[in-house]
Structure 1
Amino acid sequence: MRILHTSDWHIGRSFHGHSTLDALGSVLSVLAAQVREHEVDVVLVAGDVFDSAAPSAACYPVLTRTLRALSDAGAQVVVTSGNHDSAARLGFQAELLREGIHVVTDPLTVGTPITIDDRFGPVHFYGIPFLEPALVRHLWPDAALRTQADTIAHAMSLVRADLAERGGRSVVMAHCFAAGVDATPGVEREIRQGTLDVVPLSAFEGPDYVALGHIHGRQQLSPRVRYAGAPLHYSFGEGDKPRGSWLIETDAAGCVSAEWLDLPVPRALVTLTAPFDELLADPRFASAEAAWVCARYTDATPQLEPMRRLQARFPHCAAVVHAPSVERADDAATYAQRVHASRSHAELMDAFLVHVRNGEGATKSETALIHEIVAERAAAEALA
């Protein structure tokens, strides 16, 4: 059986204020084409289908078109809910979907598989929707569910108990933060606090393959436990990570092989670091002019209207960061001392500039302007 493992579509998520719906729709259409090309039997979507519990109306057609395209390409589809999804909204129409599209959002279905046959017999797909301990512990009062690790461990105990009776090959889908993940800070709005909600890899013992979601970058935790990541780049921290999905093939004995299928990147993400004038004019940055750009300028002082000026060269500049190459030590005490020592308004203004501009005081032209303003103010006060 050929299985395509994808996750974290985040339909409706914006990128620094820009809609991603069109870009995501185009990438997911390629995913459907890959399903047809590789004769995929089952597509697994391991959570975070939507980016919000209350997605906008424009998000639903993207999901509908994609599910229809995957089905038309010849695959059955199994979808589980993630921490960003509303399980109720995602699951309410599950019974209305066409045959072969399965949406798993009800915690009480954990341990009951969706069984799909191939020429070797049945493969049991166990979907585990995102399980928030506070919201599901009343369903299993004897399980003492305090953490994400507890809920996954309990869900997997139900899976293993069912599988012991059924026998055969099996695949599990879950949406969590598993131990051993190399996560880039800021890539995902974390569901964990400290290490309380990290799920040990041992929790997933048993099934032939575990398709995980939640981490946005491709990860292999073991030959049988993997993250596929998101189909789009949703932050600059993800910019160097490939986008795609895992093509998993299982044989008659349940042994799996994996192949990575790349997805196109509609617009590259780059982070540029240089002095501001170089960002505006240096030819070495020409290749970034069509990309999403995060510009980090290293000048000692902040620039005036940096975003507007940078977008004249980089129309898709989405973030600007002032990152001085040299940080000068300063604190409130020394600033207070400079203010106290200032004998004139001009000296006071210069002390302020030194404080807010990383140690750089007034330039010669700024000093002249300050003296001119102070003199005009003094003259006005004298006439009053």
Structure 2
Amino acid sequence: MDESPVPFVLPPDALRGVGSRPFGVYVHVPFCATRCGYCDFNTYTAGELGSAASPESWLDGLRRELDLAAKLLGAAPPADTVFVGGGTPSLLGAGGLGHVLDAVRSSFGLAPGAEVTTESNPESTSPEFFAGLREAGYTRVSLGMQSTARHVLTVLDRVHTPGRPTRAVAEARDAGFEHVNLDLIYGTPGERTSDLRASVEAVLDAGVDHVSAYALIVEEGTALARRVRRGELPPPDDDVLAEDYELIDSMLSAAGLRWYEVSNWAASEAAQCRHNLGYWLGGDWWGAGPGAHSHVGGVRWWNAKHPARYSSVLAQGHLPVAGQERLTGDDRKLERVMLELRLAEGLPLDALDGDGLRQAERAVSDGLLDRAAAAKGRAVLTDRGRLLADAVVRRLVV
């Protein structure tokens, strides 16, 4: 099969309006020290990559990609948001992450007041790491915690020193980070209600201003999926997941963190993740790095997944695009409903067609959409509706 790179172009109508819409940059760091059993992200350990790729070759490729991206978009504004995810970005160290942000600055530039986030594994952070991030220009940090229960972390193949995530929060705060997020995963086989409650209490005691909480999904091809298939572990139970979500929401709400997206809570509007809001509101973003996805003006594309292939294509002077799709009107409508309905502000009812409006009326009657919000022209999920968000979306787009 011919794998010669093909020049990537965007149609004129996709480029029209670039510069007038908010613009974000996502950077994917594909490196991990170990592979978590539940994770299906595009990540690689050093043993899996061998000599095929390295952080140095990846960073060189990243610089090339961002420079080519800026030339392709032409009128792209400075980045309003930057999000460095993975993988485990903190494995690059503060110096490496500083180089990443320098690459964004030199290609697109940063808008005044830009939000700059990096994910970090608490085990690869330190006071010096956080101080270095602040000096480099990062404004926000997101730390993976998942759970405080050892047996839950064992099922997830996560390795944390006891108390390390909350100590990392304190170190980030001491370094000057006003906005710090902790991630939780709920519904892991063997997790008790008391385990989850203890994890949420630890999050609250840490004093973060943002929390993300995700139901465990057993993804095909993962070690966790193989264990479930062999009968070693039970699959997550939908009723338990609903009860867990309600517990998380009640505890966070009581502490002053309000949901602004189904899986995300913030202490204030300023604490909300602006980069992710760009995704949910259909904005433009360039995803750089192996396997990263991008979206500009109704066109979506994705990069070659393997770091070696990614770097080799860029070395030839081409963008490492592996595939693309142009969203139809129906596609964009579906995505708007699917994403905006997840937000606390909801979706304007005039975004729905006649059938969708009739279904919205039924959803109000069924207690899934807020009646008062509907009277003001918006579809907003009720507490019960959040538990059934995917089902509500399907009803509104039939």
TM over 0.5: no
Q: Choose 1 or 2 for highest CA Rg.
A: 1
TM-score normalised by the chain length of structure 2? 0.34
- Structure number with greater CO (CA < 8 Å, separation at least 6) is 2
TM-score normalised by the chain length of structure 1? 0.35
Higher helix share: 2
